[in-house]
Structure formats: structure tokens, C-alpha cells
Amino acid sequence: MPASARSWGVLAVLCGAIFLEGIDVAMLNVALPSIRADLGLSTGMLSGVVSAYVLGYGGFMLLGGRAADLLGRRRMFLLWLVVFLVFSGLGGFADEGWVLLVARFVTGVAAAFMTPAGLSLITTTFPEGRARNRALLIYAGTAAGGFALGLVIGGLLTAFGWRWVFFAPVLMSAAILAAAVPLLKEPAGERPAATGFDLTGAVLVTTAMMLLVYGVVRLEHPRSGWPLTVAAFAGGLALLAAFVAVERRAAHPLVRLGIFRSAALVRANVTAALLTASFFGFQFLVTLYLQELRGWSTIETGLALLAAAADVVLAPTLTPWLVNRYGNAKVVFAGLLAGLLAYALFLGVGLDWAYAAMLPSMLLIGLMFAFVYGPLTIVATDGIAEHEQGLAGGLINSSFQFGAALGLSAVTAVNVAALGTATGAEAGLAAMRAALVVPVTATLLAAVIAAAGLRARARDAERVPVRAT
């Protein structure tokens, strides 16, 4: 049955929300130098502004996903969209670093509840099959497009004043809220069940995720603070072990551990983490290369990366046709090969490269996102019961977010270690080339996992007897 006009209206609202989340992060990244100059922030405080959002987002994502299932998807989406609006505005009025830290942390928490609620609203609004797949591919393309366009828009807004980087999301949030209230409904016949909430599990997994994300962020400082980094990882892993023990005995577990029996879901989540680790690490290195080694402006840098947003066009047009014809697994594998080629081509980057030499990598990265991001989301939510769609959405978004943090920290650590005490453009270029090995390796691992999934699907197909039609 074709989706109704209202269903596509719901999709438009939810695409607006995920676009808002992507553009919010990207615009802030571009504005950081201007914020530091205006408020006189230290490098540590400036890094903390970025890390605060990551901690809130990564730490609360699993809880946010399950809260959507238990407390109501529409309710969670609207409530946390309001919180997102309020604290984004708070960031715009900040005159001290600590206000920005609080604003970004709570904004990250709001995104952690809002994003899986939005994704599960899509998977419960559109029936499983072609309609849902197309909706998810449009949604995924919009998410990636938000980040790519945010780099350009952030540069333009920062030219008028960095505070507009916070005020623009307020205006967007208000418009999305006005459209969401009449359009969004809880799935027919489904009532949120707030009883039996696993409070102990919620506290354990949220604290564990925050410690693990903090440990990943600490990797950016390879020369100092190793005891704290090790303690964060050890504490996070210990709490995760305790969480698993609690969930095994809980009458109403926050996360049903049996969901991980799905090999496809596990592969999708690991691949998702490696995908964003490679892209965000690469984007960070290219930004340093263009601005610090080549002297390009923030607007020029954003425009250079804009070609990577080709997935905004490809994801809703070409990808659905390929998925219907060849299946998600083959499309994901092809996309990862495109990404691997993109990063490998950039290994030979030089200080005198024209943009034409960089363009093939940018276009191939757009192809990778178009072929991988959306289909992974489909695989991660396909076949999952409706009452656990929020959990599945929380898992895949946690993987995307954790991978992004890991990729940024890994390339920073390698770049700093390779640079050492050397100075100059040539030393910076050599260090960047060394750090580029991180996205290449991450994408190679993701391609290996995708190939294993293809082999598993082939074996399963051989076991299923062919039926006459």
C-alpha cells in the first residue's frame, strides 16, 4: 500500500529535525576560532565545548532510544526538541566558557533523545519494505547533507557573528516544532508502556557510555593524562559488564540482550562506527590541511567539502533503485570500496595540489555515504519488532556517534604523535599523511565486515529451498 500524504509530511518534519542536528554540529565546528577569539577561551575549554556535546549525545543515546519505546515516540521527540531549542539559544547568549559547556552538553542530551525517537517514528509510520526503505534513505541523505551544508552556512553566519550559529538552530527548531505538533501521532493501536522502567540499567549504561566516550575524547591527548584515560575506559567497561549482569535478571530490561543475536544488526552497528570514524577523521584532517597548511578561509573550506554532499541527491534517487535491484549488502559493500578509494587517493596529497586533484576523493566520499549510511540504517532496523524500534534506532545512532568521536580522537592522536616537535608546512603535511592511515584502515575493516555479510547471505540463500511461483 502506498504511503499516505500525511506519512510523507511526517517524513519531511523528521528530515528537518535530523538536518537540524547535522547542521548544528557542523556550524559550531566552523565557528570555534571566532568563539575563542571573542570569549578568550583556552584550547582546553574550546575542546571541551565540542566534547560536551559528544558526551551528552553518546552517553544518553541508548537511554533515549528505549525511552521512545516506553514513554512514547511523539512525546519524547517534541519534549526534547523544545529542550534543544532552549539550550541552543542559551549558547547564543553565552559570555563565559562554562555557559557554553552546559548549553552544548544539554543540547547533546536533547539530540540523544530526539534522534532515535524520530527514527523510530519513521520505521513505525512506513510499512516494512520499499516505502520504508525509501523513507530511510531520504532521511539518511538529509542527515549527511545537514553536516556538509552546515560547513558552508556556518562560515557565512560566522562572518556576521558567531552567535548566529546558535540562534539559527533556534529558528529552525521553532519551525519544525510548529509543523510537528499537528502532524506527528503515536503509531495506531500502540500505547507507550511507562511501567517497569529499568532505572538501574539506565543509570549503569548511561554512565558507562559517558565514560567510554570520555575515554575516546581523551585519546586526543596522547602525551599527558594516560592514567585518567585508562581509568575512564576501565570504568566504562566495568559498568557495561555490570549492566549486562543486571539486564540478564531484570524483569523489564532496558536493553533486551537477545536483540544482539541478530548478526546483521551487529554487523550494521560495527560498520556504522567505522564509517563515521573514517569520515569525521578525514574531514578534520582536510580542514587542517586547507586552513592551516594552505591558508584557505572557512568559507572556501566549506565549499571544498561541499562535493562530499552529493549523497543528498544520490541517496533518495539512485540508492533506492540499487537497493531494490541488488539488496542492501551489495550496495553497502560497493559504497565502502568507493570510500576506500577516496581516502587512498588522498594519501598522495601535496602542498601544491589544485582543487581538481582533491575533487575525485570528495565525490567518491559522497558516493560512499549515499550507498552506505541509509542502507545500514535499514539493516539495523529491519525485522525488529515495533516495540523495540526505538532501541534499534538508539543502537545505530550510538554507533554513528561513537565512531565519529573515535575517528576524531584517533586521527588527532596520530597527527600529534607524528608531528612531534617539528614545525613548518612540510612537517605538518607528513603528519597529516600519517594520520590519513586511520580513515583508510577503518574503511578497509568496514569493507571486510561487509564482505563477511555478503558471504553469510549467500550461505543462507543456499539453504533456502527455491519455491515455484
Interval 168-198: pLDDT, tens: 999 999 999 999 999 998 766 555 555 556 7
pLDDT for 192 equals 53
Lowest mean pLDDT among 38-47, 140-149, 406-415: 38-47
Determine the average pLDDT of the residues in 147-161: 81
pLDDT for 80 equals 96
The parent domain of residue 211 ranges over: 199-253
pLDDT score of 420 more than 60: yes
Question: Regarding predicted confidence, which is higher, 332 or 255?
Answer: 332
321 within some domain: yes
pLDDT for 346 equals 94
Per DSSP, which regions of 245-335 are E strands? none
Nearest to 263 by CA among 462, 450, 58, 128: 450
Count of structural domains, the chain: 3
- 145 and 289 in a common domain: no
469 within some domain: no
- 316 and 216 in a common domain: no
Q: How confident is the model at residue 367 (pLDDT cuts 50, 70, 90)?
A: very high
- 99 and 231 in a common domain: no
- 353 and 215 in a common domain: no
Provide the mean pLDDT of the chain: 85
- 56 and 3 in a common domain: yes
47 within some domain: yes
Give Cα 213 distance to the centre of its chain: 13
Q: How far is Cα 245 from Cα 243, in angstroms, rounded to an integer?
A: 5
- 267 and 325 in a common domain: yes
56 within some domain: yes
- 162 and 72 in a common domain: yes
Counting DSSP H helices and E strands in the chain, the numbers are 16, 0
320 within some domain: yes
- 264 and 242 in a common domain: no
Question: Regarding predicted confidence, which is higher, 42 or 203?
Answer: 203
pLDDT score of 37 more than 90: no
Q: Is the CB of residue 23 less than 8 Å from the CB of residue 146?
A: yes
Nearest to 58 by CA among 91, 104, 8: 104
Q: Is the CB of residue 106 less than 8 Å from the CB of residue 85?
A: no
466 within some domain: no
- 268 and 239 in a common domain: no
- 225 and 149 in a common domain: no
Among residues 216, 237, 253, the one where a domain terminates is: 253
What's the pLDDT tens digit per position in 65-85? Answer: 888 888 888 999 999 999 999
pLDDT for 423 equals 78
pLDDT for 437 equals 95
Among residues 253, 272, 290, the one where a domain terminates is: 253
- 453 and 314 in a common domain: yes
- 228 and 367 in a common domain: no
Q: How far is Cα 453 from Cα 449, in angstroms, rounded to an integer?
A: 6
List the CATH number of the domain containing 134: 1.20.1250.20
Residues 6+ apart with CB under 8 A from 386: 123, 124, 187, 190
191 within some domain: no
Give Cα 241 distance to the centre of its chain: 25
Give the percent of the chain with pLDDT over 90: 33
331 within some domain: yes
Residues in the chain: 469
Nearest to 217 by CA among 123, 108, 114: 108
Q: pTM value?
A: 0.83
Q: How confident is the model at residue 450 (pLDDT cuts 50, 70, 90)?
A: very high
pLDDT score of 22 more than 90: no
Determine the average pLDDT of the residues in 127-153: 82
pLDDT for 466 equals 46
Q: Is 134 exposed, middle or buried (0-12, 13-18, 19+ CB in 10 A)?
A: buried
Q: How confident is the model at residue 1 (pLDDT cuts 50, 70, 90)?
A: very low
Question: Regarding predicted confidence, which is higher, 420 or 222?
Answer: 420
Determine the average pLDDT of the residues in 327-337: 94
